[in-house]
Amino acid sequence: MDTDRARQHAVGDIPRRTAARYAHKTAIIDGATTLTFAEFDQAVNRVANALLERGLRKGDRCAILSRNRWEYAVLSFATARIGVILVPINFMLNAEEVAYILEHSGAATVVAEAGLAETADGAIALQSGDVRRIMLDGNDGHRDWEPFAELLSAPDTAPPFVSISDDDPVRLMYTSGTESRPKGALLSSRALMWEYVSCAIDGGMSHDDVELHALPLYHCAQLDCFLGPDIYLGATSIITAGPDPETVLALIEKHGVTKFFAPPTVWISLLRSPAFDTTDLSTLAKGYYGASAMPVEVLREIAERLPNVRLWNFYGQTEMSPVATILAPHEQLTHAGSAGRPVLNVETFVVDEHGEPLPAGEVGEIVHRSPHATLGYYNDPEKTAEAFAGGFFHSGDLGVFDEHGLLRVVDRKKDMIKTGGENVASREVEEAIYLHPGVAEVAVFGVADPKWVEAVAAVVVPRDGVALTDQEVVEHCRARLAGYKTPKHVVLAASLPKNPSGKILKRVLREEFETSRKSTA
């Protein structure tokens, strides 16, 4: 209907509207590539039309397996423009893990960079569907892959119109939970648009920002807390492949970067870099972190060595698109470790086991009501119903509000490990270890780590008569899991502590591990 078209305000419309305001302003810089907002919008149109020409239609899934590059940004908006659901995949996963996502999502198209084509080919061979293959950087001798450049050079630059309603899904993000396999969270255009507004308002974002995007774009934090709002506002985005500290520092100086997001592990690596004190960081004014709390001593060091930088702590999860609460700059030191306050478009509560809100000072599950929330888990109505029980989205985290209205996350109801900003489900690691014939029992949990903030640790009970070594367990995991999921610490034990009902007491194991580490330090 004409009224629907006149009123449409979807993620795919963002580049066109921003180009109308800032046509000649720089939108993207990636190495030698620079795009104005007008050029970025035109690239989005070309790719969107080319995808339509190749038979993709609203509701189809298109997976992307790539490190950060400017084409990633183009594809994310091109798919949204025509209602194709983008499926970002963690480039650190192995072929088997990628195959599960392709199979579960039903992706009929995979876009990958050349360096990951072998993994993608292996994954495609392991699943049953027929998959179109598009390579971001040429096809480099891979005859089954079409070069992405052919999409970018498509002749049709007119904006395609596909009617996108607020709750049409445009993104399918796979997130690790307590299950051994990740769940696919469907995010709608409305969820992302309202989340962009929340980030911009409560995150102090502006059209004159110059932001460096160094954390992976497959992750919703970099993609939807920062890149999306930057394109929406008309800010300039510098894209780089990864958060190498020397590269990050050099790019901040070179481009006059004003804004940067990273988990605490990366901020710590910048502070420890030999290049830190010789690099001009005077333009940097806004710093953001998430995934875990920033150690107080690091907050103080940032305040001392980067006195002009204001910090924000973003807390949330993939299913919240992903931000739910933010700790503002003026509360960083006085409320260190806090997750802050609910953002503009989110209501957050702490509830008891019956779903009733708890008063300040009482620990319960953190739940939300917000248009940010996922539409649900793809092809999993049971998990969706469980997550939305009682009319809240249940985060699975335990928390408490203090007397000032600030939220503190005190534990993870779901047994999740956040290592270097990545989610690792302990059960997935446990199930991989249980595949070893010499393992009788295993418990996996997170422990404090100076580099990763939290590291994966495993306590393993060998079967009777089996001479198992810790290194053997590590090598067994490396062959089956992504590197960041492989335990950094393995301890062999005669038994595991359990409560009367037989549940393994991971808290006791964690305490014993920390005590043992201190005694041997």
Q: What is the pLDDT of residues 291-309, one digit of tens each?
A: 777 878 889 999 999 999 9
Q: Hey, is 7 helix, strand or coil?
A: helix
Q: Which of the residue ranges 38-47, 82-91, 392-401 would you say has the lowest mean pLDDT?
A: 392-401
| Residue 137 pLDDT greater than 70, yes or no | yes
Query: Distance (Å, rounded) from C-alpha 79 to C-alpha 63?
Result: 10
Q: Where residue 140 falls among pLDDT bands split at 50, 70, 90?
A: low
Q: Tell me the pLDDT tens digit for each residue of 41-54.
A: 999 999 999 999 99
Q: Does the pLDDT at position 116 exceed 70?
A: yes
Pick from 81-90, 406-415, 490-499: least confident: 406-415
Which residue type is seen at 115? Answer: G
d(CA 122, CA 480): 14
In this prediction, residue 506 has a pLDDT band, given cuts at 50, 70 and 90, of: confident
| Alpha-carbon span 94 to 217, nearest angstrom | 18
pLDDT over threshold 80, residue 139: no
Cα separation, 153 vs 89, whole angstroms:
25
The DSSP element (H or E) to which 292 belongs, if any, is none
Question: The tokens of 29 are what?
Answer: 């810089």
**DSSP-derived 3-state class of residue 520:** helix
Amino acid 292: pLDDT? 72
In the chain, the percentage of residues whose pLDDT exceeds 90 is 76
Output the pLDDT for position 501.
Answer: 44
pLDDT of the residue at 413: 62
494 C-beta neighbours (distance < 10 Å), count: 6
Cα 12-13-14 angle, rounded to 5 deg: 95
- Residue 329: in which H helix or E strand, if any? none
Q: Quick one: which of 174, 265, 278 has its CA closest to 215? A: 265
pLDDT at 2: 85
pLDDT score for 162: 96
Is residue 330 classed exposed, middle or buried when 0-12, 13-18 and 19+ CB atoms within 10 A define those classes? exposed
Tokens 């392709």 sit at which residue?
102
Contact 174, 202 (CB under 8 A): no
Q: Is the predicted pLDDT of residue 502 greater than 60, yes or no? A: no
What three-state secondary structure class fits 418? Answer: strand
Least confidently predicted of 28-37, 96-105, 491-500 = 491-500
At 222, the pLDDT band (50, 70, 90 cuts) reads very high
Per-residue DSSP letters for 450-516? TTTEEEEEEEEEEPTT----HHHHHHHHHTTS-GGGS-SEEEE-S---B-TT--B-HHHHHHHHHHH
The pLDDT, as a whole number, for residue 488 is 95
Burial letters 166-183, b for 16+ CB under 10 A, else e: eebbbbbbbbbbeeebbb
With cut-offs at 50, 70 and 90, classify the pLDDT of residue 78.
very high
pLDDT at 197: 98
Residue 507 has pLDDT above 90, yes or no: no
Q: 410 forms bridges with which residues in the sheet? A: none
Q: Tell me what pLDDT residue 127 has.
A: 87
Max Cα distance, the chain (Å): 75
Q: Which of 477, 479, 328, 462 is nearest to 405 (CA)?
A: 328
Does the pLDDT at position 21 exceed 70? yes
Residue 425's pLDDT is what?
Answer: 74
Q: What is the pLDDT of residues 237-277, one digit of tens each?
A: 999 999 999 999 999 999 999 999 998 878 988 999 999 99
Please name the residues in contact with 423: beta carbons below 8 A apart, sequence gap of 6 or more.
175, 176, 416, 417
User: Exposure pattern of 228-245 as b/e (b: 16+ CB <10 Å)?
Assistant: bbbbbbbbbbbbbeebeb
pTM: 0.84
Q: What average pLDDT score do residues 33-40 get?
A: 98
| C-alpha to C-alpha distance for 237 and 254, rounded to whole angstroms | 13
Please check whether residue 230 is in contact with residue 254, taking contact to mean a CB–CB distance below 8 angstroms: no
Place of tokens 């988990």: 263
| Confidence band of 178 (pLDDT split at 50, 70, 90) | very low
CATH class name, domain 416-520: alpha beta
DSSP per-residue codes, 127-177: SSS--EEEESS--TT-TT-EEHHHHHT-S--SPP-----TTSEEEEEEE--
Q: What is the pLDDT of residues 450-478, one digit of tens each?
A: 888 899 999 999 988 999 999 999 999 99
Average pLDDT over the chain, rounded to an integer: 93
pLDDT at 176: 64
Of 85, 33, 94, 24, nearest in space to 59 by CA: 85
pLDDT at 370 over 60: yes
d(CA 218, CA 87): 9
Whether the bond into 322 is cis, omega within 30 of 0: yes
CA atoms within 13 A on the CB side of 241: 9
The region of weakest confidence among 30-44, 332-346, 493-507 is 493-507
Rg (CA), the chain: 23
Taking residue 17's Cβ as centre, other Cβ atoms within 10 Å add up to 15
Q: What would the mean pLDDT of 337-360 be, rounded to a whole number?
A: 96
Banded pLDDT at 143 (limits 50, 70, 90): confident
Structure tokens at 380: 């999993």
